[in-house]
């Protein structure tokens, strides 16, 4: 699903990851992080796709302060460490300010 974001400016955190073959607890942790992030002040939405072990998740935030608070959230920190040790062979996180956004939706 495409996230419904407000008019820019806002921020996007781009998380690109390469998975290991280990699945133990991954789906549950990913769902928990989504639910937890959605309750954080400044969270605007999320989009995610995965294919052949490569995943890209875009989370949208009102401010850099909101992103920083999410990064420092205790449970998120714990799951991030588990990702490093168990679920990912590599990942990169990028943060950008969205200056412009364009949309298209085919009428039903």
Residue 90 has a pLDDT of 97
Q: Mark 37-58 as b/e (b = at least 16 C-beta within 10 Å).
A: beeeebbbbbeeeeeeeebebb
**Is 108 a residue whose pLDDT tops 90?**
no
Q: What is the mean predicted confidence (pLDDT) over 84-108?
A: 96
Mean pLDDT in the chain? 96
pLDDT tens, residue by residue, 9-34: 999 999 999 999 998 899 999 999 99
Q: Is the CB of residue 45 less than 8 Å from the CB of residue 85?
A: no
pLDDT band at 4 (very low <50, low <70, confident <90, very high): very high
Residue 61 has a pLDDT of 98
* Residues β-bridged to residue 55: 17, 50
């Amino acid at each position: 699903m495409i996230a419904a974001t407000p008019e820019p400016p806002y921020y996007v955190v781009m998380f690109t990851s390469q998975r290991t073959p280990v699945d133990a607890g991954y789906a549950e942790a990913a769902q928990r992080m989504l639910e937890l992030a959605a309750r954080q002040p400044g969270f605007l939405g999320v989009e995610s796709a995965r294919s052949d072990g490569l995943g890209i998740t875009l989370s949208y935030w009102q401010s850099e302060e909101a992103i920083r608070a999410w990064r420092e959230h205790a449970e998120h920190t714990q799951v991030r460490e588990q990702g490093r040790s168990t679920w990912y062979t590599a990942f990169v996180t990028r943060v950008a300010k969205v200056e412009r956004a364009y949309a298209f939706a085919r009428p039903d």
